[in-house]
Chain A
Amino acid sequence: MRPAAAVIVFPGSNCDRDVAQAFRAATGQEAVLVWHTDFRPLAAPLAILPGGFSYGDYLRAGAIAARSPALAALREHHRSGGLVLGICNGFQILTEAGLLPGAFAPNRCLHFLSRDVFLRVESTETPFLADLSPGEVIDLPIAHAEGAYQPDPRAEPGSWRVAFRYCRPDGRVDARANPNGAVDNVAGLVDRSGRILGLMPHPERNASAESGSGHGGRLFRSALRAVDQHV
């Protein structure tokens, strides 16, 4: 039977096993690891680009992976109706590949940041977030050095929406809640189709009650429902 999720592994990915394990635990469905050269469109309805340091973050985070043959297969996967989830380095790869607009500059503080953040759910017009409510506050960990999101002024308006913004525990979005200098506190984006979600925080690191609120698990269950409905 086809697995529900395929995690695409690049040289230097290091959250691949975590996200596969968290997906399985949260959904009860299979997630397999696929070496990037072996990925084929719709190998699973949901393709996950995991966190890590693909190709050592050489040149720019995600830049080399974004130009690998796996991304051509991923574009075809998306065109064929497949879902794409990019987490942290996976989100950086999606922007470098132009599947989501913008780019990531080094964190304003110049440090690698590894800590919990609060996120306000901005748009739920994506199957990935169907189980969440607009305005809802969730908490997930971040772990990145290049997270200062920079929008692309040339991006076609309406071709994307903000999915998550960094916020305070009460949902206020302001400079104090911004960990890394991301423009407009952007932490996650969804494309026009609703089938590509990129986010800097790591849902797999807070996917069950053992690791905290377990909010990340809701993303995976929401994604799985989307898999059932759409692909």
Chain B
Amino acid sequence: MTFQLEVEILPKAGMLDPQGDAVERSLKALGFAQVHTVRVGRLISLALEADTEDEARALGAEMAEALLANPVMETFRLEVSG
């Protein structure tokens, strides 16, 4: 079966995130004073073959740990759809 995976990668809380800081300042300059704690990450979208959704999710986690995210600086979250 083909599954669609989205791997969302974000800088860990408290980690230096100059992009998030710059976006936050810019949003505030536009008048969005309510905004805080902005972080900028990346989204990796991929299709993969697996027998079950659990297997697809496990493979996604394995790939995120092996390459897609850097565990020193980043956290990841997986979204799996059939």
Contact = CB atoms under 8 A, between A and B. Distances in A.
A135 to B, nearest CB: 28
Range of interface residues on chain B?
Answer: 10 to 19
A101 B73 CA distance: 12
B18 A110 contact: yes
B53 interface: no
A110 B20 CA distance: 11
A108 interface: yes
Contacts, number: 39
Q: A-side binding surface: helix, strand, loop or mixed?
A: loop
Contact of A67 (B17, B18, B67, B73): B67
Interface in B47-82: 66-68, 70, 72-73
Nearest to B11: A105
Contacts of A181: 16, 18
B18 A102 contact: no
A228 B48 CA distance: 51
Interface in A65-110: 67, 95-96, 101-103, 105-110
A225 interface: no
Range of interface residues on chain A?
Answer: 20 to 34
A17 interface: no
A153 to B, nearest CB: 8
Contact of B22 (A63, A103, A110): A110
Interface string A130-155: 00000000000000000010111000
Contact of A108 (B11, B18, B72): B18
A107 B68 contact: no
A105 B18 CA distance: 9
Contact of B73 (A103, A107, A108): A103
Interface in A136-189: 148, 150-152, 181
A96 B18 contact: no
Contacts of A209: none
Given A59-B67, A60-B70, A95-B72, 18 more contacts: A67-B66, A96-B70, A101-B72, A103-B70, A103-B73, A105-B11, A105-B16, A105-B17, A106-B19, A107-B18, A108-B16, A108-B18, A110-B22, A150-B15, A150-B72, A151-B72, A152-B72, A181-B18
